[in-house]
Structure 1
Amino acid sequence: MSYYFEVSGETVWDPSLRIGKWYLSFAEAAAELVQRPTGLTPSDDDTCTVNVQVFRQFVDGLLECYASTRHPVQHGLMRGVLLTSLVILERGGVVIAPKSEREASLLGEVEIFARSM
């Protein structure tokens, strides 16, 4: 069984049901910490609509938080939700340009990470 993430009616990611729910949980927790809504709207039919404009602001907040520190534990904790979010955003038609060397390094991993999604 899959969990479909959709942008404008097009599926951008279809992980297993369990992985989809894990991601949603992590994203909601991260949204609280960066104080931005996710732009993700889950429904009862195992789909999640992604509002790209709101989701981009959420991902920007994650990137700013990630780039604001060198703390390895914070980076480790954020990495999964951030890379997954960047792939979803890119598949939704939005590519983010890095604002710093730290962001550029992380964004360089998106293509490789996307292969496993």
Structure 2
Amino acid sequence: MSQYFSIDGPDVWNPSNGPGTLFTRLAEAFVPLAGGPSGLGVTPGDPGDHPIDGAAFAAFTGALVAEYRATSHPINRALLEGFVVTAAVLARRGGLALPALDGPIASSPRDIPGGGAAGPDRLAELMAEYERAMPV
């Protein structure tokens, strides 16, 4: 079995049930941090079909990318990383703009002294790696 994720129509990812279910559950967990809905849906009667509202998902993912890039806390960054990179790949596949990927880095209220923020190069490298492992 597998799941299907589509953004405003076209499919952007077709993972097996394990990664697909984990992604949707993590999205729910990150809603408070992002400050808005994830945009992920479920088709009634088909729990493996996930239509994504592009505008909501772009805002959600953008907020998490900004947090990932801004935080100097290594644990926060590590906990965000896998989800943020996966979501960014999906957003790009769906043609969504993510200004937070390339824009200036802000500061985070979760910073720790002496830590460094994650730059766009780290995200670009991981996105290229994940892209190859994410079937459409």
Tell me which protein shows more strand as a share of its residues. Answer: 1
Gaps of 5+ in 2: 106-117
| Aligned counterparts of 1:56 and 1:39: Cα–Cα separation in 2 | 8
* More displaced 10-residue stretch of structure 1: 92-101 or 79-88: 92-101
2:75 is matched with 73
1:58 is matched with 60
1:40 is matched with 40
Structure of larger gyration radius:
2
Q: What TM-score comes out, normalization by structure 1 length?
A: 0.90
The match for 2:104 among 91, 96, 100 is 100
Aligned Cα root-mean-square deviation (Å): 1.6
Identity of aligned residues (%): 31
Q: Report the alpha carbon displacement of residue 8 of structure 1 after superposing the two structures with TM.
A: 2.8
Q: Report the alpha carbon displacement of residue 96 of structure 1 after superposing the two structures with TM.
A: 2.8
2:114 is matched with none
Gaps of 5+ in 1: none
| Aligned counterparts of 1:105 and 1:71: Cα–Cα separation in 2 | 18
| Aligned counterparts of 1:95 and 1:67: Cα–Cα separation in 2 | 16
Q: Report the alpha carbon displacement of residue 39 of structure 1 after superposing the two structures with TM.
A: 0.6
Aligned length: 117
Q: Report the alpha carbon displacement of residue 105 of structure 1 after superposing the two structures with TM.
A: 2.2
Q: What TM-score comes out, normalization by structure 2 length?
A: 0.79
Higher relative contact order, structure no. (Cα contacts within 8 Å, ≥ 6 residues apart): 2
2:108 is matched with none
